């Protein structure tokens, strides 16, 4: 019974495939796997916009949306109708083709990333043996689409926003990949399915998630910092900084294309959160051994919702960083910490198990963490800038 409930989607797919002639089965199989993802995650996006507006409202002692439907639950539908009926304005001087393609590329890239995320037991679109690599390769396409949008609009605001976005995304892509390397070292595989399987065991009632090791915890923290920056969310929302460059790279977009940018951004956030869950939080596995009767996909989505809640909480709390603070954080703190973390993961691997291993690895991570953050906090003496070329 529990087994059936856990595998219900897999079984349903196999049952449906039974009605398809053998020639069309590969295509039908692909469609049957893709369509649920195309439905589930945009639906999650709709729920998240509502959750975010409600949560932020409550954090600011407001009510949030409460007019459309009970507790404002129909607000996403109202927003969708509004964005669909709005006029689609394209600037006269814009590069029309690129301007049109940019939101499509963004959404497409965001969706492609879900191909390697194991949503439940046996529920992964493609079990690629280079899954993590594929994820990051697709993730970099987002930068392309952002720059396409910023450049083709021919607006100084959108160009500035795109420049900021690209600079930020590339800066944080490096520590993000380096933070995942510890997992790849430990699991010995780039396949997301294998990585989750490695974490599925239990000691007593506690799971073998990578986040419950010193290097895994540090890797998770670094990964989440980089993921926040990658998805352009507060406190790293410089690319769209409303008070400075209005809406950044998508300022010249209106109507449904704007909604697509919004969708793409949130899908990207879910995908990176999903990867964080896969790599550090044990994917679809239950947090305690006595809870394994709950279906695996439910655990995945529960963890995803918790991470989304954390993102909203952070957004409601922190102010936006300045550009130099953003870059300093990336290159002077997150990147060195990721490198040290790799070293610690190696030491962990070769030391015999026991309390000593824990103490050594924790100390090796805590000391540079404190030192680097003190270095970040150090007051800088500003000098009068001398211009060599501009006079």
Among 30, 63, 359, 367, binds another protein (CB under 8 A): 63
Tell whether residue 377 is a contact of another protein (CB under 8 A).
Answer: yes
The least distance separating another protein from the CB of residue 206, rounded to whole angstroms, comes to 25
Among the listed residues 36, 316, 336, 346, the single contact to another protein using CB under 8 A: 316
Structure tokens given for 272: 């990176």
Alpha helices by DSSP H, listed for the chain, are: 2-6, 8-17, 25-59, 75-85, 96-112, 131-139, 141-152, 156-187, 192-199, 214-230, 242-245, 255-279, 296-317, 323-328, 335-350, 355-377
CA 187 to chain centre: 21
**Residues 139, 230: contact at Cβ < 8 Å?**
yes
Told to check if 77 binds another protein by CB under 8 A, we report no
Q: Cβ of residue 61: shortest distance to another protein, in angstroms?
A: 5
**Which of 2, 38, 318, 359 touches another protein (CB under 8 A)?**
318
Choose which of 3, 93, 129, 373 interacts with another protein (CB under 8 A).
373
Does position 73 interact with another protein (CB under 8 A)? The reply is no
| 156 touching another protein, by CB under 8 A | no
317 part of the interface to another protein, by CB under 8 A = yes
3-state SS, residue 244? helix
**Dihedrals phi, psi of 234, to nearest 5 degrees:** -55, 140
Among 60, 85, 203, 243, binds another protein (CB under 8 A): 60
Task: Give the C-alpha separation, 282 to 279, whole Å.
Answer: 7
Give the nearer residue to another protein in terms of CB position, either 162 or 364.
364
**Residue 180 C-beta: closest distance to another protein, Å:** 22
363 touches another protein (CB under 8 A) = no
61 scored as a contact of another protein (CB under 8 A): yes
Listed residue (139, 118, 126, 85) closest to 269, CA to CA: 139
Stretch that binds another protein, among 57-65, 113-121, 131-139, 158-166 (CB under 8 A): 57-65
Please state at what angle helix 156-187 crosses helix 131-139, rounded to 10 degrees: 170
Residues at the site binding another protein, with contacts judged by CB under 8 A: 55, 58-63, 313-314, 316-318, 369-370, 373-374, 377
């Amino acid at each position: 019974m529990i087994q059936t409930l856990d595998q219900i989607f897999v079984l349903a797919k196999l049952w449906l495939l039974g009605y398809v002639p053998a020639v069309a089965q590969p295509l039908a199989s692909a469609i049957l796997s893709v369509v649920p993802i195309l439905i589930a995650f945009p639906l999650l996006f709709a729920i998240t916009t509502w959750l975010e507006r409600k949560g932020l409202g409550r954090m600011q002692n407001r009510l949030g949306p409460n007019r459309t439907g009970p507790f404002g639950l129909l607000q996403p539908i109202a927003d969708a109708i509004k964005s669909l009926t709005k006029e689609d304005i394209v600037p006269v001087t814009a590069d029309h083709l690129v301007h049109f393609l940019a939101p499509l590329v963004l959404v497409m890239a965001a969706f492609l990333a879900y191909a390697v995320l194991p949503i439940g037991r046996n529920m992964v679109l493609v079990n690629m043996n280079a899954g993590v690599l594929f994820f990051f390769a697709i993730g970099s396409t987002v930068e392309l689409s952002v720059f396409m949008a910023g450049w083709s609009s021919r607006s100084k605001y959108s160009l500035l926003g795109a420049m900021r976005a690209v600079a930020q995304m590339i800066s944080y892509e490096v520590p993000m990949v380096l933070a995942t390397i510890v997992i790849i070292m430990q699991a010995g595989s780039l396949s997301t399915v294998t990585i989750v399987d490695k974490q599925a065991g239990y000691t007593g009632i506690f799971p073998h998630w990578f986040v419950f090791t010193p290097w895994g915890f540090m890797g998770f923290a670094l990964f989440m910092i980089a993921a926040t920056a990658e998805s352009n969310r507060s406190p790293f929302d410089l690319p769209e900084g409303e008070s400075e460059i209005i809406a950044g790279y998508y300022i010249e977009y209106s109507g449904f294309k704007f909604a697509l940018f919004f969708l793409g951004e949130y899908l990207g956030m879910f995908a990176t959160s999903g990867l964080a869950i896969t790599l550090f939080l044990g994917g679809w596995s239950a947090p305690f051994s006595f809870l394994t009767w709950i279906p695996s996909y439910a655990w995945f989505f529960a963890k995803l919702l918790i991470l989304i809640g954390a993102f909203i909480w952070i957004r409601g709390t922190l102010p936006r960083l300045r550009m130099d603070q953003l870059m300093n954080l990336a290159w002077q703190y997150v990147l060195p910490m990721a490198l040290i973390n790799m070293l610690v993961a190696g030491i962990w691997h070769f030391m015999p198990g026991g309390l000593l291993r824990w103490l050594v690895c924790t100390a090796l991570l805590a000391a540079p963490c404190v030192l680097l953050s003190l270095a970040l906090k150090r007051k800088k003496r500003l000098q009068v800038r001398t211009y060599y070329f501009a006079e």
